[in-house]
Amino acid sequence: MKESTVMDIAQIKEYLPHRYPFLMIDRVLECEPPSRILALKNVSVNEEFFTGHFPHYQVMPGVLVVEGMAQAAAILTFKTLDVRPDNKSIYYFAGIDSARFKRPVVPGDQIQYEIAAGRSVRGVAKFSGVARVDGLIVAEAELLCAYRPVK
């Protein structure tokens, strides 16, 4: 049987160096290293980006939805490697392919990020990501992430 882990915000902060306003994961609902993760972001009207994107119709920037996918992928990778981030290494977002945005994410939405791990070679890993709100796909993308020492 695969390990499945639920993580609260305190545990997430142990695996991600991101902090407000760039922490895009509020909870991990399922984590099955090395294959998949299901994470959650509660989208609040109080998010800083809503003041300017767009004031007349507040929409979460698509790049931040994809950033949430990458952060979920990072948690999955750190859990798989059984390591935590430190000041000697960094997990970079190295590429995005086939990104598609299907509908806007607005205040009050709850995004579920489902990430599946693909191939990994020399510290570069590929992931498939889907973001859903109320079961409907809002975005999807193929992600490349790289684990590298800080120089």
Give the catalytic positions in this structure: 53
Cβ count near 30 (within 10 Å): 14
3-state helix, strand, coil in the chain (%, to 5): 20, 40, 40
Rounded distance between C-alpha atoms, residue 94 and residue 4, angstroms: 27
- DSSP label at residue 68: H
Rounded distance between C-alpha atoms, residue 76 and residue 37, angstroms: 6
